[in-house]
Structures are given as C-alpha cells and as structure tokens.
Amino acid sequence: MSSVILRTATRLLLPLLLVFSAFILLRGHNEPGGGFIGGLLSAGALSAYALAWGPAEARRVLRVDPRTLLGAGLLCVCAAAFAGIAAGREVLTGLWAPFEVPGLGKVSTVLLFDLGVHLGVVGATLSILFNLGED
C-alpha cells in the first residue's frame, strides 16, 4: 500500500503530463519534439501512476489494452503511408489538408504518422511494463 501523498500527486500529475505530451506531439513538426518523445512522456506518466496505484488500476485508467493502442498506432502509420498512393503520388508523400482545423492549424498525413508513432510507443512501452509488473 503506497502513501496518500504519492497517490494524490500521481493522480494530479497524470492529466498534466498527458496534456504536455500532446503539446510535444503537436509542436514536433519543425522543432524538437514529436511522436516518439510525446509517447515516452505519456508512458512515463502512466508508469508513475502504476507505481503508485498498481498495474491493475493503471490498466483501468487507460481503459483500452496497451496492445490495442499499438495496433491503432500501426494502423495510423499505414494509413499515412498509403495516403500518398491513394492520391496518385509516391508512398509516404506528405499531404496537407486544404482547410484549417481550429487549434491545430493545417492537418497533414505527417501529423497522422506522428500520431501513429505516439500511440505505438505508448502501447509498446506500457504492455512491456504492465506484463513485467504483474507476474
């Protein structure tokens, strides 16, 4: 049984770190940052939560299986790769949407690729961590 201070602190830090990882994911186009680092930040936040509350509770907070996140990430990466072929260009060509999404700016297949990397890193790290912690 962990201490009350640790449990309260990790519960407050978890949403903060998830927002921060989304910020790092979105700024990582031309500047340092991106999907991989954002994914590692999310995984670090959830591993701190799992250290304080136990892996079973962390799985419940995550709501989906980490392997599902991994598969969704690979699907996003594949969709971003084959969007170029669907538009009649080469594989992995970056395509930008002609409209602007409020808060995000111009969305692109590059952002979809980064989102896939983010989900893949979170899924892989957390499935390793939870499986190591639960036996």
Contact residues: another protein, CB under 8 A: 1, 6, 13, 16-17, 20, 24, 31-33, 41, 44-45, 47-48, 50-52, 54-56, 132-134
Contact 7, 49 (CB under 8 A): no
Residue 96 Cβ, how far from another protein at the closest point, in Å? 25
Going by C-alpha positions, the residue among 52, 35, 45, 49 that lies closest to residue 112 is 35
Per-residue DSSP letter, 97: E
Compare residues 33 and 66 and give the one whose CB is closer to another protein.
33
Residue 81 Cβ, how far from another protein at the closest point, in Å? 29
- HSE of 120 in the Cβ direction (CA atoms, 13 Å)? 15
Compare residues 19 and 78 and give the one whose CB is closer to another protein.
19
Compare residues 33 and 35 and give the one whose CB is closer to another protein.
33
Compare residues 15 and 105 and give the one whose CB is closer to another protein.
15
d(C-alpha 47, C-alpha 107), whole Å: 30
Contact 81, 34 (CB under 8 A): no
